[in-house]
């Protein structure tokens, strides 16, 4: 049974924008959906879902498409400038890494 993922509206908006950005990058490179899907090793239907920002598509499929278009370095920028995390660290707040064992 396939699990459906429900995103909060703001998160879905971000994912939809990511999909649109991927589509625009594909069009700028003059790649068809068939070409990009074949190079990424995914189906054309999966590529369409990525370009629409569908949440159930695996992160690996999104990454593979970005990699094929030479945009994998953008992926590495995620979380690189963690302003909130730095503020918490500077404030000396301890953050538990694991739940305590029972």
Q: Render pLDDT for 48-88 as a digit per residue (tens, 0 to 9).
A: 999 999 999 999 999 999 999 999 888 778 777 788 877 87
The pLDDT of residue 63: 94
79 in a structural domain? no
Q: Render pLDDT for 25-54 as a digit per residue (tens, 0 to 9).
A: 999 999 999 999 999 999 999 999 999 999
Hey, which bits of the chain come out as E strands? Answer: none
* Higher-confidence position of 43 and 4: 43
Q: pTM of the full predicted structure?
A: 0.76
Which residues fall within 8 angstroms of residue 65, CB to CB, at 6 or more apart? Answer: 22, 36, 40, 42, 47, 50
Report how far residue 48's alpha carbon sits from residue 38's, in angstroms, rounded to the nearest whole number.
Answer: 13
Domain that holds residue 31: 9-74
Report how far residue 56's alpha carbon sits from residue 86's, in angstroms, rounded to the nearest whole number.
Answer: 31
Which residues fall within 8 angstroms of residue 88, CB to CB, at 6 or more apart? Answer: 95
Domain holding 18: CATH number? 1.10.260.40
Q: How many domains does the chain have?
A: 1
């Amino acid at each position: 049974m396939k699990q459906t993922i429900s995103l909060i509206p703001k998160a879905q908006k971000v994912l939809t924008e990511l999909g649109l950005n991927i589509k625009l990058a594909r069009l700028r490179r003059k790649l068809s959906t068939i070409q990009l899907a074949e190079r990424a090793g995914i189906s054309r239907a999966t590529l369409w879902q990525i370009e629409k920002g569908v949440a159930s598509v695996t992160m690996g499929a999104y990454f593979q498409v970005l990699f094929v278009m030479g945009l994998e370095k953008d992926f590495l920028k995620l979380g690189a400038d963690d302003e909130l995390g730095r503020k918490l660290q500077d404030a000396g707040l301890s953050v538990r890494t694991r739940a305590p064992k029972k």
